[in-house]
A = this chain, B = another copy of it.
Amino acid sequence: MVDVVAGIDIGGTNTVIGLVNRDGDCISEVSLPTQAESSFANYLASIVSKIDGLVQVANGTVRVKGIGIGAPNGSYNLGAIVDAPNLKWKGILPICRELKLQTKLPVALTNDANAAAVGEMLFGEAKGMKDFIVITLGTGLGSGIVSNGKLVIGNDGFAGEMGHTVVKPFGRQCGCGKRGCLETYVSATGICRTVYKLLASSNQPSMLRSISFEQLTSKMITEAAQKGDPIAREAFEYTGRILGTKLSDAVAFFSPEAIFLFGGLSKAGDLILDPTKRHMEENMFPVFKNNVKIIPSGLNGKNAAVMGAAALIWQELE
């Protein structure tokens, strides 16, 4: 009999559920469309039934110890998803209370980046670290921060929103309703916006001039930069400058041992790491200079969202 935790990664399109053991191995996995059901109650019933299905398939070899959930706008304190922009159900969705009632298991919720940080601490490269930051570079920019060995969740459970710190008060329009947020510059979509800005402001030739705004992806920019495209390379320099400068702020606030980059854009490797490190060091308070590592996440390529969600409960059980 193996003890497992059900890790649930709720995205706008799909919900992925995995059974994760204490070593962080996802031993089985299933997914369902997040918004196929008309009511949130029916959606939760589908989740419970999918977990039951995974247990049945395991044929009596697993025991579920709890349910951990990562979701955008997930509040650890409230145990609820609050006004998630990518879900059709608005207001406060008390997912922890409902799943606890139905399963009698411990249930914990946080946002996806916080879950990634707990996953990094339990199963990744942050084992043994008490102060570190995980930056998730996907469509947006998320951050999960661990200080004194604990996830920084803050007074309302929504701390760690580095993606919505200010780069330029009257800058690019953000999905959150503000302008100039970090994630409008540093993310898969942010670097595409930067390429378009650079294409407009310079006359340099670029293979990206033939691609429409809607078609452009961060992967194309990475490939162009690897081929020496000057606009693509400048876009990485610009992105790294903004990220590195903001990371020097994060270091001044938290004095972390390491900063981990996770997800899409971080796969560009040194193209993003080099300018980020350089600009972080240039803006660093002297006492922190050359003391903070920026490294790729140990969960890159793995099912980090599910592992991180499960880690929330594994951490509570210990």
Chain A residues engaging chain B, CB cutoff 8 angstroms: 73, 82-83, 129-131, 145, 147-148, 150, 152-162, 164-166, 169, 176-178, 181, 245, 248-250, 252-257, 282-288, 291
Contact = CB atoms under 8 A, between A and B. Distances in A.
Contacts of A165: 248-249, 252-253
A118 B43 CA distance: 46
A283 B169 contact: yes
Contacts of A285: 161, 164, 176, 178, 181
Given A178-B285, A249-B249, A254 B169 contact: no
B252 A152 contact: no
B154 A256 contact: yes
7 contacts: A155-B291, A156-B291, A161-B253, A164-B252, A165-B253, A178-B285, A178-B286
A287 B255 contact: no
B145 A148 contact: no
B255 A156 contact: yes
Given A176-B285, A285-B164, A169 B255 contact: no
Contacts of A288: 156, 158, 161
Nearest to A250: B253
Contact of A159 (B177, B245, B255): B255
Contact of A249 (B145, B166, B282): B166
B130 A155 contact: yes
A130 B159 CA distance: 13
Contacts of A169: 245, 282-283
Given A152-B148, A245-B166, A245-B169, A158 B253 contact: no
Contacts of A155: 129-131, 255-257, 291
Given A169-B245, A248-B166, A158 B255 contact: yes
Contacts of A158: 255, 287-288
A254 B178 contact: no
Nearest to A148: B150
Given A159-B255, A169-B245, 18 more contacts: A131-B154, A145-B253, A147-B154, A148-B150, A155-B256, A155-B291, A156-B287, A156-B288, A156-B291, A158-B288, A159-B253, A160-B252, A160-B253, A160-B255, A161-B252, A176-B286, A178-B286, A181-B285
